[in-house]
Structure 1
Amino acid sequence: MSEVLTYRTFGEMPWTPQYVEEINKDVCLGCGRCVKLCGQECLGIESFEDDEGTERYVAKIVNKDQCIGCQACGRVCVRRAYSFKPKTA
């Protein structure tokens, strides 16, 4: 059984990073707040054509390996389009 990796903050409080796992395109508005906020350049914007033929913009994970597990993208998302997962040993 894998163990969830837990670390300590500067104040010695336990902290478990939650890494970006997925962005729900059906919920995402494509506002770009998360992209601007991410200091690790994990996110970008992509366009696609929906079922009605309208061009839509949504956030996209472009470099998952750069994620530090801060969840800032999920906190700034007004639609709660993000899902996260801890890393296991």
Structure 2
Amino acid sequence: MNVITGLTRGGEEYTPEFVMEIKQSNCIGCGRCFKVCPRDVFELIDREDADIKEADDYEDEYGDDYEDGYGDDDEFSDDTSMVMSIQNGMDCIGCGSCARICPKKCFTHAPQGVEA
């Protein structure tokens, strides 16, 4: 299978790598990728709307539910916890700006195949 290639202004061929996935469990919701993306590929969503395993979703080695001893009555609000999500993945141009700016290395990129 052939992959999509492009040309630089200098005439050199390159293979763009398009965003495939965001590892939301690593995402801190800083919005840097959103700001540098020229094609509006990303959106910031509530962490609770994302499909992320939280610490209390795990069981310990004895089969007991994980308990941190603090419960849900702490003084912090989870309402403002946000993560990045791919909104328009087909609009990605493969520039890689998001991966270069991400402080947590949340992105997976790959070349895109072309059907002949």
What is the Cα deviation at residue 61 of structure 1?
A: 0.5
- TM-score for the superposition, normalised by structure 2: 0.69
Name the CA distance, whole Å, in 1 between partners of 2:14 and 2:83.
Answer: 30
What letter is aligned with 1:38?
C
Q: What is the aligned partner in structure 2 of residue 40 from structure 1?
A: 39
- The residue that corresponds to 2:84 in the other structure is 59
| Deviations, residues 10-67 of structure 1 (Å, cap 9, x unaligned) | 1011211111100001111110011111111111101123635645311111011111
Instruction: Give, in whole Å, the separation in 1 of the partners of 2:47 and 2:18.
Output: 25
Task: Name the structure 1 match of 2:95.
Answer: 70
Bigger-Rg structure (1/2): 2
Q: Share of identical aligned residues, percent?
A: 33
Aligned to 1:8: 7
1:73 match: secondary structure: helix
Q: Report SS of the residue matched to 2:90.
A: helix
Stretches of structure 2 that go unaligned for 5 or more consecutive residues are: 57-71, 73-77
Look up the SS of the partner of 1:69 in the other structure: coil
Q: Find out whether 1:80 has 2:105 as its counterpart.
A: yes
The size of the alignment, in residue pairs, is 88
State the SS of the aligned residue for 1:65.
helix
How far off is 1:87 after superposition? 1.1
TM-score, L = length of structure 1 = 0.88
Indicate the structure whose relative CO is greater, using CA pairs within 8 Å and at least 6 residues apart: 2
